[in-house]
A = this chain, B = another copy of it.
Amino acid sequence: MELATLRTARGVTAAVRRGDRWLALPADNLSQFLLNSSWRADAESVLASATLEAGVSEAEAELELPLPAPGKMICCGLNYSDHILEMGRDLPQYPTLFAKFADTLIGPDRDVKIPPTAQGALDWEAELAVVVGAELLGASVEEAREGIAGYTLANDLSMRDWQKRTLQWFQGKAWDATTPLGPTLITADAMDPEDGIEISCEINGVRRQHGSTKNLVFSAAALVSYVSTFTILRPGDIILTGTPGGVGMGMDPALYLTDGDTATVSAPGLGELTNTIRFSK
Protein backbone atom coordinates (compact mmCIF):
# COMPACT_ATOMS: atom_id res chain seq x y z
CA MET A 1 0.00 0.00 0.00
CA GLU A 2 0.99 3.61 -0.56
CA LEU A 3 -0.09 5.96 2.22
CA ALA A 4 0.20 9.74 2.33
CA THR A 5 -0.79 12.90 4.11
CA LEU A 6 -2.65 15.09 1.62
CA ARG A 7 -4.03 18.57 1.35
CA THR A 8 -7.28 18.64 -0.63
CA ALA A 9 -10.10 21.15 -0.98
CA ARG A 10 -11.60 19.57 2.16
CA GLY A 11 -8.48 19.99 4.29
CA VAL A 12 -5.57 17.81 5.34
CA THR A 13 -6.06 14.05 5.70
CA ALA A 14 -4.29 10.73 5.78
CA ALA A 15 -4.98 8.78 2.58
CA VAL A 16 -4.31 5.52 0.75
CA ARG A 17 -3.75 5.26 -2.99
CA ARG A 18 -5.99 3.16 -5.28
CA GLY A 19 -4.91 3.45 -8.90
CA ASP A 20 -4.66 7.17 -9.69
CA ARG A 21 -6.92 8.27 -6.86
CA TRP A 22 -6.38 8.90 -3.16
CA LEU A 23 -8.95 7.57 -0.67
CA ALA A 24 -9.26 9.37 2.66
CA LEU A 25 -8.32 7.53 5.84
CA PRO A 26 -9.84 8.42 9.25
CA ALA A 27 -6.96 10.56 10.57
CA ASP A 28 -5.51 14.01 9.94
CA ASN A 29 -2.11 12.64 8.96
CA LEU A 30 -0.08 9.44 8.98
CA SER A 31 1.50 10.15 12.38
CA GLN A 32 -2.00 10.02 13.82
CA PHE A 33 -3.22 7.18 11.58
CA LEU A 34 -0.43 4.79 12.62
CA LEU A 35 -1.32 5.20 16.31
CA ASN A 36 -4.42 3.06 15.74
CA SER A 37 -3.11 -0.50 16.08
CA SER A 38 -5.55 -1.69 13.42
CA TRP A 39 -4.15 0.74 10.82
CA ARG A 40 -3.24 -1.96 8.28
CA ALA A 41 -6.68 -3.54 8.37
CA ASP A 42 -8.36 -0.13 8.34
CA ALA A 43 -6.51 0.94 5.21
CA GLU A 44 -7.20 -2.39 3.50
CA SER A 45 -10.86 -2.08 4.37
CA VAL A 46 -11.04 1.40 2.82
CA LEU A 47 -9.33 0.07 -0.31
CA ALA A 48 -11.79 -2.82 -0.56
CA SER A 49 -15.00 -0.98 0.19
CA ALA A 50 -14.71 2.48 -1.38
CA THR A 51 -16.92 3.16 -4.39
CA LEU A 52 -15.29 3.59 -7.80
CA GLU A 53 -15.77 7.38 -7.74
CA ALA A 54 -14.53 7.78 -4.16
CA GLY A 55 -11.56 9.92 -3.22
CA VAL A 56 -9.72 12.60 -5.14
CA SER A 57 -7.50 12.48 -8.20
CA GLU A 58 -3.78 13.08 -7.90
CA ALA A 59 -4.34 16.50 -9.49
CA GLU A 60 -6.72 17.46 -6.71
CA ALA A 61 -4.30 16.56 -3.92
CA GLU A 62 -1.10 18.17 -2.72
CA LEU A 63 1.35 15.96 -0.84
CA GLU A 64 2.11 17.16 2.68
CA LEU A 65 4.83 16.04 5.07
CA PRO A 66 3.63 12.42 5.53
CA LEU A 67 4.64 12.10 9.20
CA PRO A 68 4.51 15.50 10.91
CA ALA A 69 4.77 14.32 14.50
CA PRO A 70 7.25 11.51 15.17
CA GLY A 71 7.93 11.27 18.89
CA LYS A 72 11.44 10.11 18.09
CA MET A 73 13.68 10.41 15.08
CA ILE A 74 16.98 8.56 15.37
CA CYS A 75 19.61 8.70 12.65
CA CYS A 76 22.48 6.39 11.79
CA GLY A 77 25.73 7.65 10.29
CA LEU A 78 28.45 5.70 8.47
CA ASN A 79 26.28 2.79 7.33
CA TYR A 80 27.03 2.06 3.62
CA SER A 81 29.77 -0.57 3.55
CA ASP A 82 30.98 0.20 0.02
CA HIS A 83 31.50 3.85 0.91
CA ILE A 84 33.21 3.02 4.24
CA LEU A 85 35.55 0.53 2.58
CA GLU A 86 36.42 2.92 -0.29
CA MET A 87 37.39 5.49 2.34
CA GLY A 88 39.85 2.92 3.73
CA ARG A 89 38.01 2.51 7.01
CA ASP A 90 37.01 -0.64 8.85
CA LEU A 91 33.35 -1.55 9.04
CA PRO A 92 31.89 -0.34 12.35
CA GLN A 93 30.95 -2.77 15.08
CA TYR A 94 28.12 -0.55 16.34
CA PRO A 95 25.82 1.94 14.62
CA THR A 96 26.71 5.62 15.09
CA LEU A 97 23.46 7.22 16.26
CA PHE A 98 22.23 10.74 16.82
CA ALA A 99 18.80 12.26 17.39
CA LYS A 100 16.59 14.81 15.66
CA PHE A 101 13.36 16.47 16.71
CA ALA A 102 10.17 16.54 14.61
CA ASP A 103 10.55 20.29 13.96
CA THR A 104 13.43 19.50 11.60
CA LEU A 105 11.05 17.90 9.07
CA ILE A 106 9.60 19.49 5.96
CA GLY A 107 7.40 17.98 3.25
CA PRO A 108 8.02 17.20 -0.41
CA ASP A 109 8.15 20.02 -2.98
CA ARG A 110 8.60 22.65 -0.27
CA ASP A 111 11.26 25.31 -0.34
CA VAL A 112 13.91 24.78 2.32
CA LYS A 113 14.72 28.20 3.76
CA ILE A 114 18.25 28.62 5.01
CA PRO A 115 19.11 31.60 7.23
CA PRO A 116 22.36 33.48 6.59
CA THR A 117 24.34 31.87 9.41
CA ALA A 118 23.73 28.38 7.98
CA GLN A 119 24.45 29.13 4.32
CA GLY A 120 28.19 28.44 4.42
CA ALA A 121 28.40 24.69 3.95
CA LEU A 122 24.97 23.19 3.24
CA ASP A 123 25.25 19.57 2.13
CA TRP A 124 22.88 16.82 0.95
CA GLU A 125 22.43 13.33 2.39
CA ALA A 126 19.98 11.00 0.63
CA GLU A 127 18.61 8.38 3.01
CA LEU A 128 16.13 5.56 3.35
CA ALA A 129 13.73 6.39 6.19
CA VAL A 130 12.20 3.55 8.18
CA VAL A 131 8.82 4.23 9.76
CA VAL A 132 7.92 2.29 12.89
CA GLY A 133 4.46 0.71 12.92
CA ALA A 134 4.15 -0.82 16.39
CA GLU A 135 5.43 -0.40 19.95
CA LEU A 136 8.86 -1.97 20.16
CA LEU A 137 11.07 -2.35 23.23
CA GLY A 138 13.83 -4.92 23.41
CA ALA A 139 12.76 -6.23 20.01
CA SER A 140 14.73 -8.97 18.27
CA VAL A 141 15.69 -8.28 14.67
CA GLU A 142 12.78 -10.45 13.55
CA GLU A 143 10.32 -8.63 15.85
CA ALA A 144 11.72 -5.31 14.62
CA ARG A 145 11.17 -6.37 10.99
CA GLU A 146 7.55 -7.23 11.80
CA GLY A 147 7.15 -3.87 13.54
CA ILE A 148 8.20 -1.73 10.58
CA ALA A 149 5.24 0.10 9.02
CA GLY A 150 7.09 0.96 5.85
CA TYR A 151 9.60 3.15 4.10
CA THR A 152 10.01 6.62 2.69
CA LEU A 153 12.87 8.91 1.65
CA ALA A 154 14.71 11.65 3.49
CA ASN A 155 17.29 14.29 2.73
CA ASP A 156 19.30 14.84 5.91
CA LEU A 157 20.47 18.31 4.83
CA SER A 158 23.49 19.13 6.97
CA MET A 159 25.10 22.40 7.93
CA ARG A 160 28.68 21.10 7.81
CA ASP A 161 30.19 24.18 9.45
CA TRP A 162 27.86 23.83 12.44
CA GLN A 163 28.28 20.04 12.42
CA LYS A 164 32.05 20.48 12.73
CA ARG A 165 31.97 23.14 15.43
CA THR A 166 32.16 20.36 18.03
CA LEU A 167 32.50 16.58 18.09
CA GLN A 168 28.76 16.07 18.37
CA TRP A 169 26.93 16.35 15.04
CA PHE A 170 23.55 17.39 16.48
CA GLN A 171 23.76 21.16 15.90
CA GLY A 172 24.57 20.67 12.22
CA LYS A 173 21.48 18.50 11.76
CA ALA A 174 18.92 20.16 14.01
CA TRP A 175 17.72 23.19 12.08
CA ASP A 176 13.96 23.54 11.88
CA ALA A 177 12.26 22.65 8.57
CA THR A 178 15.45 21.53 6.82
CA THR A 179 15.02 17.73 6.65
CA PRO A 180 12.77 16.85 3.68
CA LEU A 181 10.79 13.63 4.21
CA GLY A 182 8.47 11.83 1.77
CA PRO A 183 6.87 11.85 -0.70
CA THR A 184 4.67 9.01 0.63
CA LEU A 185 4.88 5.92 2.85
CA ILE A 186 5.23 2.54 1.13
CA THR A 187 4.17 -0.24 3.48
CA ALA A 188 6.71 -2.88 4.39
CA ASP A 189 4.89 -5.71 2.61
CA ALA A 190 5.76 -4.03 -0.72
CA MET A 191 9.58 -3.97 -0.42
CA ASP A 192 12.50 -5.18 1.64
CA PRO A 193 15.64 -3.02 1.94
CA GLU A 194 17.74 -6.19 2.35
CA ASP A 195 16.88 -7.05 -1.26
CA GLY A 196 18.44 -3.71 -2.25
CA ILE A 197 16.67 -0.39 -2.68
CA GLU A 198 18.69 1.89 -4.97
CA ILE A 199 18.83 5.33 -3.32
CA SER A 200 19.99 8.30 -5.42
CA CYS A 201 20.48 12.01 -4.94
CA GLU A 202 20.50 14.49 -7.80
CA ILE A 203 21.47 18.13 -7.41
CA ASN A 204 20.11 20.32 -10.22
CA GLY A 205 19.61 17.15 -12.25
CA VAL A 206 23.18 15.84 -11.81
CA ARG A 207 23.44 12.55 -9.94
CA ARG A 208 25.74 12.98 -6.93
CA GLN A 209 24.87 10.01 -4.74
CA HIS A 210 23.89 6.44 -5.43
CA GLY A 211 23.86 3.42 -3.16
CA SER A 212 21.98 0.21 -2.53
CA THR A 213 20.47 -0.58 0.85
CA LYS A 214 21.85 -4.09 0.23
CA ASN A 215 25.16 -2.56 1.40
CA LEU A 216 23.89 -1.26 4.73
CA VAL A 217 26.18 -2.45 7.53
CA PHE A 218 23.18 -2.26 9.86
CA SER A 219 19.96 -3.22 8.09
CA ALA A 220 16.70 -1.38 8.69
CA ALA A 221 15.47 -4.16 10.99
CA ALA A 222 18.83 -4.40 12.78
CA LEU A 223 18.78 -0.65 13.49
CA VAL A 224 15.23 -0.73 14.82
CA SER A 225 16.14 -3.69 17.04
CA TYR A 226 19.32 -1.98 18.31
CA VAL A 227 17.54 1.28 19.17
CA SER A 228 14.75 -0.63 20.93
CA THR A 229 17.39 -1.98 23.34
CA PHE A 230 17.54 1.38 25.09
CA THR A 231 14.34 3.24 24.22
CA ILE A 232 10.78 2.34 23.34
CA LEU A 233 9.79 3.00 19.74
CA ARG A 234 6.21 3.87 18.91
CA PRO A 235 4.14 3.96 15.70
CA GLY A 236 5.23 6.87 13.54
CA ASP A 237 8.75 7.08 14.94
CA ILE A 238 11.42 7.38 12.25
CA ILE A 239 14.84 5.81 11.84
CA LEU A 240 17.14 7.30 9.20
CA THR A 241 19.53 4.65 7.90
CA GLY A 242 22.55 6.71 6.78
CA THR A 243 23.72 8.04 3.45
CA PRO A 244 25.86 6.53 0.67
CA GLY A 245 29.02 8.12 -0.71
CA GLY A 246 28.88 11.25 -2.83
CA VAL A 247 28.11 14.07 -0.43
CA GLY A 248 29.37 17.56 -1.27
CA MET A 249 31.81 17.63 1.65
CA GLY A 250 33.62 14.66 0.12
CA MET A 251 34.23 16.33 -3.26
CA ASP A 252 37.50 18.06 -4.13
CA PRO A 253 36.94 20.95 -3.89
CA ALA A 254 33.89 20.57 -1.65
CA LEU A 255 30.60 21.46 -3.33
CA TYR A 256 27.82 22.96 -1.25
CA LEU A 257 24.22 23.90 -1.96
CA THR A 258 23.34 27.46 -2.82
CA ASP A 259 20.26 29.58 -3.36
CA GLY A 260 17.94 28.09 -5.98
CA ASP A 261 19.50 24.63 -6.11
CA THR A 262 17.12 21.70 -6.31
CA ALA A 263 17.84 18.45 -4.50
CA THR A 264 16.02 15.24 -5.49
CA VAL A 265 16.24 12.05 -3.48
CA SER A 266 14.73 9.08 -5.30
CA ALA A 267 14.43 5.31 -5.26
CA PRO A 268 12.51 2.84 -7.44
CA GLY A 269 9.22 2.15 -5.70
CA LEU A 270 9.57 5.06 -3.27
CA GLY A 271 9.21 7.93 -5.74
CA GLU A 272 10.97 11.28 -5.73
CA LEU A 273 11.50 13.79 -2.94
CA THR A 274 12.37 17.16 -4.50
CA ASN A 275 13.05 20.41 -2.66
CA THR A 276 14.45 23.77 -3.63
CA ILE A 277 16.97 25.60 -1.46
CA ARG A 278 16.18 29.23 -0.71
CA PHE A 279 18.74 31.39 1.06
CA SER A 280 16.97 33.93 3.24
CA LYS A 281 18.45 37.27 4.23
Contact surface of A with B, Cβ cutoff 8 Å: 71-72, 74, 77, 92-101, 103-104, 117-118, 137, 162, 165-171, 174-176, 229-232
Docked complex Cα distance between A166 and B98 (Å): 10
CB distance from A224 to the nearest CB of B (A): 14
A165: chain B residues at CB < 8 Å are 93-94
A168: chain B residues at CB < 8 Å are 77, 96-98, 168-169
Q: Are B71 and A230 in contact (CB under 8 A)?
A: no
Q: Are B99 and A167 in contact (CB under 8 A)?
A: no
A98: chain B residues at CB < 8 Å are 98-99, 168, 170
Docked complex Cα distance between A169 and B175 (Å): 19
Q: Are B101 and A170 in contact (CB under 8 A)?
A: no
Oligomeric state, in copies: 2
Q: Are A229 and B99 in contact (CB under 8 A)?
A: no
CB distance from A162 to the nearest CB of B (A): 7
> Could you say which of B77, B92, B94, B99 contacts A99, with CB atoms under 8 Å apart?
B99
CB distance from A214 to the nearest CB of B (A): 23
Docked complex Cα distance between A92 and B103 (Å): 27
Q: Are B97 and A99 in contact (CB under 8 A)?
A: no
A-B contact pairs, 23 of them (CB 8 A): A72-B101, A94-B165, A94-B166, A94-B171, A95-B166, A96-B167, A96-B168, A97-B166, A99-B99, A99-B100, A99-B101, A99-B170, A101-B231, A103-B231, A103-B232, A117-B229, A162-B230, A167-B167, A168-B168, A174-B231, A175-B230, A175-B231, A176-B231
Q: Which residue of B lies closest to A100 (CB)?
A: B99
Q: Are A176 and B230 in contact (CB under 8 A)?
A: yes
CB distance from A253 to the nearest CB of B (A): 24
Docked complex Cα distance between A95 and B165 (Å): 8
> Could you say which of B171, B176, B231 contacts A97, with CB atoms under 8 Å apart?
B171
Q: Are B169 and A99 in contact (CB under 8 A)?
A: no
Docked complex Cα distance between A99 and B92 (Å): 22
Q: Which residue of B lies closest to A226 (CB)?
A: B171
4 A-B pairs closest in CB distance: A96-B166, A99-B99, A94-B165, A175-B230
Docked complex Cα distance between A170 and B174 (Å): 14
Docked complex Cα distance between A268 and B34 (Å): 46
Q: Which residue of B lies closest to A104 (CB)?
A: B231
A94: chain B residues at CB < 8 Å are 165-166, 171
Docked complex Cα distance between A281 and B205 (Å): 55
Docked complex Cα distance between A43 and B175 (Å): 34
